[in-house]
Amino acid sequence: MMRYNISMSRKGFSLIELLVYVAIFVMSSVFLVSMFIIFTRIHVRQSSLNEVNSQVSFVNDVIQRLVRSSSVIGTAAGAATSTLTLRMASSTVDPTLVYFEGGVIYLQEGEDEPIALTSSPLAVDDFSVTKYENEGGYSFVRFDLAVHYDAESEGAKFRRTLSSAVSRASAATFDSSVLPNSSASYDLGSATKSWQNLYISGGIGIGTQPVAAAGIKSADDIAFTTSSVGLILVAPNSSCYRLTVGNGGVFATSSVSCP
């Protein structure tokens, strides 16, 4: 009877090899996890940055468009304020306000309800508007905006400031009556900045309503600052005479060219 000896060779990992493999796996895992954390932080940071830039650009575009299309910048010149007041040609959106309240910038057109121009998680820290008079040109406004991305994660927090300026793009035009919001409170021009010419197709009322076209009616005195000027009247023969007064209160007339 024949016998066979079959020897089988068995191979396995040695302890050193196993430790090497485990070390390589741990190092690879740590590297991958670290890369994942870095990519996540970059993504969160970029998302907050995109959100801040998007809303800031939107506010900037809205203010630029409104100022350029306005008829008058109603905000007082030279003083910083948190409200931009614009007078518009259309009565449905007049006046238009852009203002800062409670960490949000709002837009209100005419009698409509205010609309929020910014939203969470963006929070507005400051909004300041200053009007400047450009002599011989259109008025312009400078606005400063400071915002931050409101988040619990430190990596998502982001702050940005914006300073910009814009001027009106055309002369003031109105399609309705121009009325002050308070009677006997405001002037048209001043002693140092006067209007050049006044063209009126109807009557003029000074202190009262006009009584006829091209007529002037006043409830107060009409004064002349020098004695060399007076009231020019037209005679029936179409000749013109200036009516003045002497030191004794005696009236005198002199022939002048008709205006």
Using CA atoms, how far apart are residues 211 and 209, in angstroms rounded to an integer? 6
Using CA atoms, how far apart are residues 163 and 144, in angstroms rounded to an integer? 5
Cβ-Cβ contacts under 8 Å for 184 (sequence gap 6 or more): none
pLDDT confidence band for 6 (50 / 70 / 90):
very low
Tokens found for residue 115 = 């609309």
- Lowest average pLDDT, out of 8-17, 107-116, 139-148, 241-250, goes to 8-17
Q: How is the chain split into domains, by residue range? A: 29-167, 204-256
Mean residue pLDDT across the chain: 80
Q: SS3 of 254, please?
A: strand
What would the pLDDT profile of 146-182 be if each residue is shown by its tens digit? 998 876 655 556 788 899 999 887 776 666 677 776 7
pLDDT average, residue stretch 85-90: 88
Q: SS3 of 73, please?
A: strand
Using CA atoms, how far apart are residues 196 and 191, in angstroms rounded to an integer? 12
Tell me which of 4 and 60 has the higher pLDDT: 60
Cβ–Cβ < 8 Å for 146, 161: yes
pTM over 0.85: no
Tell me which of 66 and 11 has the higher pLDDT: 66
Tokens found for residue 204 = 């003029």
pLDDT for 12: 56
Cβ–Cβ < 8 Å for 83, 95: no
